[in-house]
Each structure stands twice: as structure tokens, then as C-alpha cells.
Copies of this chain bind each other. A is one copy, B any other.
Amino acid sequence: MRVLVVEDEANLAAAVARGLRAEGFGVDVAGDGVTGLQRALSGGHAVIVLDIMLPGRSGYDVLRELRARQVWTPVLMLTAKDGEYDIADALDLGADDYLTKPFPFVVLVARLRALARRGSPERPARLVVADLVLDTAAHKAWRGETELALTAREFALLEHLMGRAGDAVPKSELLSEVWDENFAGDPNIVEVYIGYLRRKIDAPFGRKSIETVRGVGYRIDAAGG
């Protein structure tokens, strides 16, 4: 069972890592938010221990980004007790548990075990952006009351955009995530499919959910469009 520890205080990080290894966990350590996010995205961890106060990107930020990218690995947040950061916010963002520093080591281990056992919650079956709804389990899509007839590829593309609603998603990311990691064909395929989508989900309803971000990619406004 692998654990990712994202913590900038080197001493604490090392101590936690050593202790967890002794308990039989495999441990990865990241010293700042950016590398922490990378490691977390690469996946394979049963639990993530995430400090809130971090150089680079805060723990909040990392957590938000993770969930936005559909990564549902359980996260245990670490806070200093000075209360500058609100743990409630973290839980809102999708943290699964938290500990206030300093903490007894055994408590950390127990909480991690509990989180790991509980496992990663199912990814939400439903994506909602304004009156656009995707049911990923049923593979159905609606604009308001109207069901949309999307092909598999169109559905996958829309799913990815809605999963990162509010973000400008680079065309390269769409290519590698919706198509293939090493897609060899014409990258223009993304534009073609964006066109298909707009004709199905926007034009008939006089809407403009999918914005073009010139030179970057596309964005679905979190507030809807």
C-alpha cells in the first residue's frame, strides 16, 4: 500500500516517512505543492497526506486541482493549530480527514489505515454544469430536459471538459486524454469534434457553453453559458 506525503518541513516529512515505512507502507514524499500534485496525478497511492501550508501551491490548491481532474484518492489534510487555515474549507473541497499538528504518530497511522480501507469513493456519476448534465454511469447526457444523442467520442470529450469546468483545457491534454496518449493523426480532430459538440449541445439551444481559448484550447464556463 503506497502513501504519498506532501509536506515541506523536511524533518517532519522524513520522520513521517520513516515511521510509515516501518509500519509497512510504501512512501513517496513531495516537498512542495507542485511536485506533490504531479506525484498524486501519476496515481497509484492508496492515501495522500497533504499539508495545507506549502510552498508553490497550497494544499488547498493541490486538493482542488486533484478533484477537478477526477482523482478521488482519499486525502488526509495536515494543519498547524494556529487556525490560519480553516479545516472546514478543506473538507468542503473533498478532503476525507484531517489532523492538527503536532499529532501522535499512532493516530496518523490509524487514520491512514481507516482511509485506505474505506477506499476511494466512487467518482461522482453525475457531472452538472448549468443545465448541462452528464450521467457517466448511464452514459446519458441532457441539456435541460432534452436528452442529447452523443457518440462515444463526443461523450468522452464533453465529459472531460465538464470535469474541468472553468478551466481552459489545452488541446494537447484533450488529445492525450480523450484520444490516445500517443495519438499520431491530425490534431485538427479536436476542432472537428468540438464542432460536432457545439452543433449538438449549443446551436439547437442558442447557447455557447464551449468557449474557444485562442492558442490554448477550450473551456466550459463553470457558471454555464
Tell me if A124 counts as interface (CB < 8 A to partner B).
no
A130 at interface (Cβ–Cβ under 8 A)? no
- Contact for A137 among B138, B152, B167, CB less than 8 A: B167
Number of copies: 2
Give chain A's interface secondary structure class. loop
A139: CB under 8 A from chain B? yes
A9 to chain B, nearest CB (A): 35
- In the complex the two chains form, what is the Cα distance from A216 to B151 in whole Å? 10
**B-side contacts of A153, CB under 8 Å:** 215
Residues B219 and A151 in contact, CB atoms below 8 Å apart: no
* Residue in B139, B213, B216, B219 whose CB lies within 8 Å of A219: B139
User: CB-CB < 8 A to A219: which residues of B?
Assistant: 138-139
User: Which residue numbers of A lie inside 8 Å of B, CB to CB?
Assistant: 70, 117, 137-139, 151-153, 166-168, 213-216, 219
- Listed residue (A117, A139, A214, A215) with the most chain B CB atoms within 10 angstroms of its CB: A139
A137 touches B168 (CB 8 A): yes
A168 contacts across to B, CB distance below 8 A: 137-139
Which residues in B have their C-beta under 8 angstroms from that of A70?
A: 117
Inter-subunit contact B138/A167 (CB<8 Å): yes
- The CA of A213 and the CA of B137, in the complex, are separated in Å by 11
Provide the bound-state CA to CA distance between A10 and B39, in Å: 41
Apart from A137-B166, A152-B216, A153-B215, 15 more pairs, CB < 8 Å: A70-B117, A137-B167, A137-B168, A138-B166, A138-B167, A138-B168, A138-B219, A139-B168, A139-B213, A139-B216, A139-B219, A151-B214, A151-B215, A152-B214, A152-B215
